[in-house]
Amino acid sequence: MTNALFGRALGELETVLSGVDDEAVDRACLALANARRIGIYGCGREALQMKGFAMRLFHLGLPVAVVGDMTMPALGENDVFFASSGPGETTTVLTLMKVARDAGAWNLLVTAQPGSSAAALSDETILIPAQTMADDQGAQRKSVLPMGSVFEGALFLLFEIMVLKLKDMLHATPDAMRARHTNME
């Protein structure tokens, strides 16, 4: 039974990630590579994936901070606000996207809902066509995984691919990345 569940979950992740637009990912990576500052934000379990990605961006030498941390600088011109909102209607994300836009920052979004309010506020959207809490009940439910888990799992894999692309764009070496890893663990 466990192997069958692993197989179904992995098959769902493969299907979902095969639907991600490579060109949107490349545009997002270019924006991140050229940003003066990067602010990262997500809610709930998506926030965990976003924070993990922020750590890797830091390892790549990019000027990144997590919104909500006391050390988050103000965003403005030539900055990127990168948010995750699988359902696309997370009120905190919508508010922060408006603040970033009004300050002159570029909004980058990863979502599962292309017609959402958050997608309408974004300058670039990476669509992950996965089940989230917006469509996890009744006939809409497609995933063997609960709630938004397939979206969250896809975020992890997407971000690892983006790290590989950024590593090449920035000519970052594994040694340089490792040197930026904290020694305070």
| CATH code, domain carrying 106 | 3.40.50.10490
Tell me the percentage of the chain whose pLDDT exceeds 90: 71
- Compute the radius of gyration of the chain from its Cα atoms: 16
The per-residue pLDDT for range 25-72, each reduced to its tens digit, is: 999 999 999 999 999 999 988 899 999 999 999 999 999 999 999 999
Q: Look at residue 85 and tell me if it is in a domain.
A: yes
pTM listed for this prediction: 0.91
Total tally of structural domains belonging to the chain: 1
Q: Look at residue 172 and tell me if it is in a domain.
A: yes
Q: Look at residue 184 and tell me if it is in a domain.
A: no
Place of tokens 């959402």: 116
Amino acid at 169: M
Q: Which domain holds residue 107?
A: 2-179
CA–CA gap between residue 126 and residue 109 (Å, rounded) = 6
The per-residue pLDDT for range 139-151, each reduced to its tens digit, is: 555 655 546 678 8
CA–CA gap between residue 173 and residue 47 (Å, rounded) = 27
Tell me the percentage of the chain whose pLDDT exceeds 70: 90
CA–CA gap between residue 64 and residue 84 (Å, rounded) = 15
Q: What is the DSSP string of 151-167?
A: HHHHHHHHHHHHHHHHH
The per-residue pLDDT for range 77-98, each reduced to its tens digit, is: 999 999 999 999 999 999 999 9
What angle is formed at CA 95 by the lines to CA 90 and CA 101, rounded to 5 degrees?
125
Q: Is residue 134 pLDDT above 90, yes or no?
A: no
Alpha carbon of 1 to those of 6, 11, 171: distances in Å?
9, 15, 44
CA–CA gap between residue 124 and residue 66 (Å, rounded) = 19
Q: Look at residue 185 and tell me if it is in a domain.
A: no
Q: Is residue 128 within 8 Å of 111, Cβ to Cβ? A: yes
Other CB atoms within a 10 A radius of the CB of residue 76 amount to: 13
CA–CA gap between residue 124 and residue 109 (Å, rounded) = 6
Residue (of 184, 34, 12) closest to 112 by Cα position: 12
Please tell me the predicted confidence (pLDDT) of residue 11.
Answer: 83
Q: Which residues contact 26 (CB under 8 A, 6 or more apart)?
A: 165
Helix (H, G, I), strand (E, B) or coil at 81: strand
